[in-house]
Amino acid sequence: MYKYDNYDQAIVDARVAEFRDQVNRRMAGEITEDQFKPLRLMNGLYLQLHAYMLRVAIPYGTLDSRQMRMLAHIARKYDRDYGHFTTRQNIQYNWIKLEECADLLEELASVEMHAIQTSGNCIRNISSDQYAGAAADEVTDPRPWAELLRQWSTFHPEFSYLPRKFKIAVIASPEDRAAMRLHDIGLELVRKDGELGARVFVGGGMGRTPMIAPEINPFVKADDLLSYIEACLRVYNRYGRRDNIYKARIKILVHEIGADEYRRQVAEEFAHVKTLGIDPPLAELERISAFFAAPAFDAADVEPDRSDPDFAVWLDQNVKPHKQAGYAIVNISLKPIGGIPGDASSAQIDVMADLAEKYSFDELRVTHAQNIVLPHVAKRDLYAVWQALRDADLANANLDLISDIIACPGLDYCSLANARSIPIAQKIATRFADAERQRDVGELKLKISGCINACGHHHAGHIGILGVDKKGVENYQLTLGGSGAEDVSIGKITGPGFDEDGIVDAVEKAVEKYRELREGDERFVDTYRRVGMDPFKEAIYG
Amino acid sequence: MVEFRYRDDEVTEQPSVTLDAFLDQSNASAVRLEPDDDARKLIPFLDRLTLIEVAFPKFRDGRGYSSARILREAGYTGELRAQGDVLVDQIAFMRRCGFDSFAPEGSLNPEAVERALSTYDQYYQKAADAAVPVWKLRHG
Amino acid sequence: MKLLTGNELGSGAVTWWTGNGWSIHVEDAVDVGEGGESILHAEEGARRVNAPYIIDAIATPEGPRPAHIKDRVRALGPTVRPDLTLKPADPAAGDWII
Ligand code: HEM
Ligand code: SF4
Q: What is the pLDDT of residues B91-119, one digit of tens each?
A: 999 999 999 999 999 888 899 899 999 99
Give the pLDDT of residue B29.
94
Phi, psi of A111 (to 5 degrees): -120, 30
Q: Is residue A127 within 8 Å of residue A149, measured between CB atoms?
A: no
- The set of residues, in sequence order, having a beta carbon less than 8 Å from that of A534 and lying 6+ positions away, is none
Our CA angle for A83, A24, A115, nearest 5°, is 30
Closest of A51, A34, A52 to residue A43, by C-alpha = A52
Strand ranges in A274-360 using DSSP code E only, listed in sequence order: 319-321, 327-332, 343-345
Closest of A473, A483, A488 to residue A447, by C-alpha = A483
**Given an 8 Å threshold on Cβ–Cβ distance, is C12 in contact with A415?**
no
| DSSP classification of residue A148 | H
Percent over 70 (pLDDT), chain C = 100
- Buried residues in B14-30 as b, exposed as e (16+ CB within 10 A): eebbebeebeeeeebbb
Q: Is residue A493 within 8 Å of residue A514, measured between CB atoms?
A: no
CA–CA separation, B54 and A514 (whole Å): 60
Counting atoms of ligand 1 from 1, which one is nearest the CA of A246? 16
Give chain C positions within 8 Å (CB) of A29.
Answer: 47
Which residue CA neighbors atom 2 of ligand 2 most closely? A451
**Residue A234: count of CB within 10 angstroms of its CB:** 22
Give the pLDDT of residue B140.
80
Measuring CA to CA, how many Å separate A107 from each of A13, A144, A184, A350?
10, 25, 31, 17
Q: Under DSSP, is residue C34 helix (H, G, I), strand (E, B) or coil? A: coil
When mean pLDDT is compared across A47-51, A86-90, A178-182, A366-370, the lowest value belongs to: A86-90
Distance from CA of A91 to the nearest CA of B (A): 25
Closest of B122, B129, B73, B137 to residue B100, by C-alpha = B129
Counting atoms of ligand 1 from 1, which one is nearest the CA of A413? 1
Give the pLDDT of residue B13.
81
Give the pLDDT of residue A333.
98
Indicate whether residue A394 lines ligand 2 (CB < 6 A). Answer: no
Distance separating the N- and C-terminal Cα atoms of chain C? 20
Alpha helices (H) along B1-81: 19-24, 63-73
Q: Pseudo-torsion of CA A449, A450, A452, A456, nearest 10°?
A: -20
pLDDT greater than 80 at residue B63:
yes
Question: What order do you get walking across the sheet with A168-171 strand by strand?
Answer: A127-128, A168-171, A185-192, A195-202, A215-221
Phi, psi of A535 (to 5 degrees): -60, -35
Give the pLDDT of residue A534.
98
Q: Amino acid letter at A280?
A: P
Counting atoms of ligand 2 from 1, which one is nearest the CA of A419? 3
| DSSP classification of residue A61 | G
Query: What would the DSSP string read from start to end of A160-228?
Result: SS-SS-B-EEEE-SSS-SS-GGGSSEEEEEEEETTEEEEEEEE--B-TTS-BPPPEEEEEEEGGGHHHH
CA–CA separation, A38 and A19 (whole Å): 12
- The set of residues, in sequence order, having a beta carbon less than 8 Å from that of B20 and lying 6+ positions away, is none
Phi, psi of A268 (to 5 degrees): -65, -45
Distance from CA of A325 to the nearest CA of B (A): 36
**Residue B107: count of CB within 10 angstroms of its CB:** 8
CA–CA separation, C9 and C50 (whole Å): 5
| DSSP classification of residue C33 | T
Distance A453 CA to ligand 1 centre (A): 6
CA–CA separation, A216 and A200 (whole Å): 6
Give the pLDDT of residue B54.
98
Indicate whether residue A164 lines ligand 1 (CB < 6 A). Answer: yes
* Position A386 confidence tier, pLDDT thresholds 50, 70, 90: very high
- Buried residues in B58-73 as b, exposed as e (16+ CB within 10 A): ebebbbbbbbbbbbbb
Give chain A positions within 8 Å (CB) of C74.
Answer: 49-50
* Position C7 confidence tier, pLDDT thresholds 50, 70, 90: very high
Distance from CA of A287 to the nearest CA of B (A): 10
CA–CA separation, A208 and C14 (whole Å): 29
Q: Identify any residues that bridge with B80 across adjacent strands, giving them in sequence order.
A: B52
Measuring CA to CA, how many Å separate B27 from each of B10, B11, B54, B71, B78?
19, 18, 19, 19, 16
Give the model confidence (pLDDT) of A207-232 as tens digits: 999 999 999 999 999 999 999 999 99
CA–CA separation, A335 and A333 (whole Å): 5
CA–CA separation, A355 and A383 (whole Å): 12
B4-139: which CATH topology? Rossmann fold (3.40.50)
Q: A71-77 long-range contacts, Cβ below 8 Å, gap at least 24?
A: A71/A349, A72/A346, A72/A347, A72/A349, A72/A350, A72/A353, A73/A107, A73/A346, A74/A104, A74/A107, A74/A108, A75/A345, A75/A346, A75/A349, A76/A346, A77/A104
CA–CA separation, A50 and A413 (whole Å): 7
Give the model confidence (pLDDT) of B43-55 as tens digits: 999 999 999 999 9
Q: Under DSSP, is residue A424 helix (H, G, I), strand (E, B) or coil? A: helix
**Residue A97: count of CB within 10 angstroms of its CB:** 18
Phi, psi of A148 (to 5 degrees): -55, -45
pLDDT greater than 80 at residue B1:
no
Distance A165 CA to ligand 2 centre (A): 15
Our CA angle for A54, A55, A56, nearest 5°, is 115
Distance A48 CA to ligand 1 centre (A): 13
C78 burial level (CB within 10 Å; 0-12, 13-18, 19+): buried
Give the pLDDT of residue A380.
97
Q: Is residue C4 within 8 Å of residue C54, measured between CB atoms?
A: yes
Alpha-carbon dihedral sign for residues A505, A510, A513, A518? negative
Over residues A472-491, mean pLDDT:
97
Domains of chain A: 6-60+68-109 (3.30.70), 134-289 (3.30.413.10), 309-391 (3.30.70.3340), 406-541 (3.30.413.10)
Using CB atoms, list chains with 3+ pairs below 8 Å to chain C.
A
Q: Is residue A248 within 8 Å of residue A241, measured between CB atoms?
A: yes
Half-sphere exposure of A102 (CA within 13 A, CB side): 17
Our CA angle for A328, A329, A335, nearest 5°, is 140
CA–CA separation, A344 and A58 (whole Å): 15
Asked if A46 has any chain C CB less than 8 Å from its own CB, the reply is: no
Distance A88 CA to ligand 1 centre (A): 9
Over residues C57-72, mean pLDDT:
96
pLDDT greater than 80 at residue A98:
yes
Over residues B53-77, mean pLDDT:
97
Q: Is residue A446 within 8 Å of residue A523, measured between CB atoms?
A: no
Q: Identify any residues that bridge with C58 across adjacent strands, giving them in sequence order.
A: C65
Give the pLDDT of residue A542.
87
* Position A30 confidence tier, pLDDT thresholds 50, 70, 90: confident
Category of A523 on φ-ψ map: left (φ > 0), alpha (ψ -120 to 50) or beta: beta
A·C CB contacts under 8 A: 66
Q: How far is CA A158 from the centre of its chain?
A: 26
Alpha-carbon dihedral sign for residues B57, B63, B66, B71? negative
Helix B88-96 with B110-118: angle, nearest 10 deg: 50
CA–CA separation, A494 and A479 (whole Å): 6
Q: Is the pTM of this model over 0.90?
A: yes
Give the model confidence (pLDDT) of A262-298 as tens digits: 999 999 999 999 999 999 999 999 999 999 999 999 9
Asked if C touches A (at least 3 Cβ pairs < 8 angstroms), the answer reads: yes
Q: Is residue B7 within 8 Å of residue B101, measured between CB atoms?
A: yes
The domain spans of chain C are 2-96
Give the pLDDT of residue A521.
96
Counting atoms of ligand 2 from 1, which one is nearest the CA of A456? 1
CA–CA separation, A431 and A425 (whole Å): 10
Give the model confidence (pLDDT) of A110-161 as tens digits: 999 999 999 999 999 999 999 999 999 999 999 999 999 999 999 999 999 9
Asked if A308 has any chain C CB less than 8 Å from its own CB, the reply is: no
